[in-house]
């Protein structure tokens, strides 16, 4: 037996003004789960309200937050000092939340009278969507639910499960659209917390959007974007000189080359924020990295995949892969979080893909001057969850900003085609983001994704900068300081 301290967020909405933490010291056995620690707390204080039933991860009753992350109490290991709170859903009491409004929105089958048993292939397609234990962890973290009446990630999973079942007679695609199919920002939070690892955005929502697309149900703004990609190879219209038009095919570093990478620029940095991309190039040059920029590269296809318009996706993929493969490049660098996530997760590439922050982290950088700013960092969903990158950008930021403050992570609302397709939702999430940054005490917001930066800039009074721009400014400051000393 070992002794551990557990803090539980207690709350009785009928008598308490708000949740309050209470600390307990309990003894648990080796290998105890959070649930067993809660049992031990309960043995000390029988007024604790918490749910559990099967104790083996199959009934979905015991989802709670441990240190802010949703887990099943019966599966997550108990840790000394952990803070256990309810899921971010309406609290009934203590750790019990009201699941019923979300359970009610799950569609149920409307079976044809004498339908045959599905084929093995059909069964295999449905099975991964069937693992859901309706714990509602996904619902509790979904940003779309904060600002829309989205039915939630698992409701989308259920819609696809039914759409794939030949026994069902319902019109699931139309229903899914009504229930908010296009509200998903593809932030990837839902499936990262799903105890069953059901990849709802990629394996359910995008599949539903594909079927919706085939049925002519794509949003008009999404269709426009797809048309733009089809005709120009780019998802952003040309309004000024693009990055690719400005740079040569190979950009040599200052001094000796320590490494060579290919650069996949992406539509936003190419057409809308080329200056940030040029800043990145300067940072690479300064740090001895040769950058090869194939000019025939096109849109990665992310705007098409996220919105289910995949008809000519393969052409884009082939062209992009060929652009780098033909130059013998073994590492392709991305700078846009969305492009990086797409190349890493939706492509099968003969080369390694790395985000610019990973490249700089791998080779190490010359320290820039510390700018006299208080910076906060916005984790782009497609970098944080899409690529699992959170430390590298922070480490770089700490090198260049005198003060660094955290702002709790949340999706800005611009992804998944939401900015173009459901602008009110994107604006509402953007506004929440803006408020959070302004409350953080920072005087500049820094990120690594052109979509996030562009969107957040519309919703905050604070300046929004790309991390690469900031690094370049750090070097410029350093040079000025050096010149001043001489």
Partner 1 sequence: MRALEVIDCHVLVIGSGGAGIRAAIEADRYGETVLLSKSITGKGGCTTMAEGGYNAVLRDTDACALHTEDTMRGGAYLNDPALVDALVHDAPARLSDLVSWGAVFDASADGEVAQRSFGGQCRPRTCYAGDRTGHEMIATLMERLRGSGVERIEETPAIELLKDSGRVCGALTLDRKGEVRAIRADAVVLATGGGARVYDVSTNSGTGSGDGFAIGYRAGAELIDMEMVQFHPTGAVYPYDARGRLVTEAVRGEGGRLINAAGERFMNCYDPERMELSTRDVVARAIATEVLEGRGTKNGGVWLDVTHLPARRIEERLPVMLEQFLRFGVDIRTEPMEVAPTAHHIMGGLSITPEGQTTLPGLFACGECSGGVHGANRLGGNALADTQVFGKRAGEAAGRSPERRATIDRVQVEAQEERLTAFFRGEVSPISVQRQLQQAMWDGAGIRRNESDLRTTLGTVGELNGAGLNAASGRNLTACCAVQNLCTTAGLIVRSALLRPESRGAHYRTDIVQTWDAQTSPFGHTRISLKGAGIEEAGR
Lookup: tokens for 351:
């080369």
The only residue of 15, 56, 239, 486 in contact with partner 1, by rule CB under 8 A: 56
Least Å distance, CB 44 to partner 1, is 10
Least Å distance, CB 125 to ligand SF4, is 17
- Is the Cβ of residue 137 or residue 162 nearer to ligand SF4 in the bound state? 137
Name the one range near partner 1 by CB under 8 A: 19-27, 39-47, 402-410, 450-458.
Answer: 39-47
Pairwise CA distance, residues 414 & 450, whole Å: 10
Least Å distance, CB 349 to ligand SF4, is 23
Work out whether 153 is an interface residue with partner 1 (CB under 8 A): no
- Is the Cβ of residue 156 or residue 289 nearer to ligand SF4 in the bound state? 156
The only residue of 19, 118, 233, 288 in contact with partner 1, by rule CB under 8 A: 118
Least Å distance, CB 107 to ligand SF4, is 14
Least Å distance, CB 421 to ligand SF4, is 13
The only residue of 7, 58, 174, 232 in contact with partner 1, by rule CB under 8 A: 58
Name the one range near partner 1 by CB under 8 A: 32-40, 219-227, 301-309, 361-369.
Answer: 32-40
CB-based contacts of 301: which residues, under 8 Å, 6+ apart? 229, 310, 313, 316, 317, 342, 346
Partner whose footprint covers residue 108, from ligand SF4, partner 1, none (CB < 5 to 8 Å by kind)? partner 1
Pairwise CA distance, residues 43 & 26, whole Å: 9
The only residue of 27, 131, 406, 424 in contact with partner 1, by rule CB under 8 A: 131
Work out whether 179 is an interface residue with partner 1 (CB under 8 A): no
The only residue of 38, 64, 71, 99 in contact with partner 1, by rule CB under 8 A: 99
Least Å distance, CB 119 to partner 1, is 6
- Is the Cβ of residue 428 or residue 442 nearer to ligand SF4 in the bound state? 428
Residues that bind ligand SF4 (CB under 6 A): 60, 132-138, 141-144, 153-154, 157, 184-190, 194-196, 198, 200-201
Least Å distance, CB 122 to partner 1, is 8
Q: Is the CB of residue 349 less than 8 Å from the CB of residue 321? A: yes
The only residue of 9, 26, 32, 412 in contact with partner 1, by rule CB under 8 A: 32
Terminal alpha carbon distance of the chain? 66
Work out whether 82 is an interface residue with partner 1 (CB under 8 A): no
Least Å distance, CB 353 to partner 1, is 27
Least Å distance, CB 146 to ligand SF4, is 10
- Is the Cβ of residue 147 or residue 265 nearer to ligand SF4 in the bound state? 147
Give the binding site for partner 1 (CB under 8 A). Answer: 28-33, 36, 42-43, 45-47, 49, 51-61, 75, 92-93, 99-100, 103, 106, 108-111, 114-115, 117-120, 123, 126-127, 130-134, 162, 165, 167-168
């Amino acid at each position: 037996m070992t002794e551990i301290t557990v803090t539980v967020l207690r709350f009785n909405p009928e008598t308490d003004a708000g949740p309050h933490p209470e600390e307990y010291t309990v003894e648990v056995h080796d290998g105890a789960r959070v649930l067993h620690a809660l049992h031990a707390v309960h043995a000390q204080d029988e007024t604790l309200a918490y749910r559990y039933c099967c104790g083996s991860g199959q009934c979905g009753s015991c989802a709670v937050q441990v240190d802010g992350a949703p887990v099943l109490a019966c599966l997550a290991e108990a840790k000394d000092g952990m803070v256990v709170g309810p899921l971010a859903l309406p609290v009934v009491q203590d750790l019990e939340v009201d699941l019923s409004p979300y359970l009610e929105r799950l569609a149920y089958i409307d079976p044809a009278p004498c339908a045959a048993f599905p084929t093995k292939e059909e069964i295999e397609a449905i099975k991964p969507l069937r693992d859901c234990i309706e714990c509602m962890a996904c619902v509790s973290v979904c940003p779309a639910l904060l600002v829309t009446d989205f039915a939630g990630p698992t409701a989308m999973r259920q819609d696809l499960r039914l759409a794939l079942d030949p026994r069902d007679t319902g019109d699931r695609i139309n229903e899914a659209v009504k229930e908010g199919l296009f509200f998903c920002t593809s932030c990837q939070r839902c499936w990262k917390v799903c105890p069953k690892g059901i990849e709802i955005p990629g394996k359910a929502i995008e599949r539903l959007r594909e079927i919706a697309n085939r049925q002519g149900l794509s949003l008009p703004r999404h269709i426009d974007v797809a048309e733009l990609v089809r005709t120009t190879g780019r998802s952003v219209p040309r309004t000024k000189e693009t990055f690719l038009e400005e740079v040569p095919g190979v950009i040599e570093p200052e001094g000796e080359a320590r490494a060579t990478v290919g650069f996949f620029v992406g539509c936003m940095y190419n057409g809308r924020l080329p200056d940030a991309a040029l800043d990145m190039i300067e940072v690479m040059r300064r740090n001895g990295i040769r950058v090869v920029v194939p000019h025939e590269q096109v849109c990665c296809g992310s705007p098409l995949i996220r919105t289910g318009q995949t008809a000519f996706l393969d052409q884009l993929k082939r062209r992009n892969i060929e652009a780098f493969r033909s130059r013998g490049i073994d590492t392709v660098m991305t700078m846009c979080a969305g492009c990086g996530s797409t190349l890493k997760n939706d492509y099968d590439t003969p080369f390694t893909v790395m985000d610019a922050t990973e490249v700089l982290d791998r080779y190490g950088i010359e320290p820039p001057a510390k700018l006299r700013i208080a910076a906060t960092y916005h984790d782009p969903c497609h970098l944080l969850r899409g690529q699992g990158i959170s430390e590298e950008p922070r480490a770089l930021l700490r090198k260049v900003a005198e003060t660094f403050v955290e702002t709790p992570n949340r999706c800005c609302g611009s992804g998944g085609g939401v900015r173009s397709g459901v602008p009110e939702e994107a604006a509402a999430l953007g506004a929440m983001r803006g408020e959070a940054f302004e409350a953080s005490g920072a005087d500049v917001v820094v990120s690594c994704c052109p979509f996030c930066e562009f969107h957040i800039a519309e919703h905050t009074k604070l300046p929004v900068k790309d991390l690469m721009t900031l690094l370049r400014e750090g070097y410029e400051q350093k040079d000025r300081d050096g010149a001043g000393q001489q």
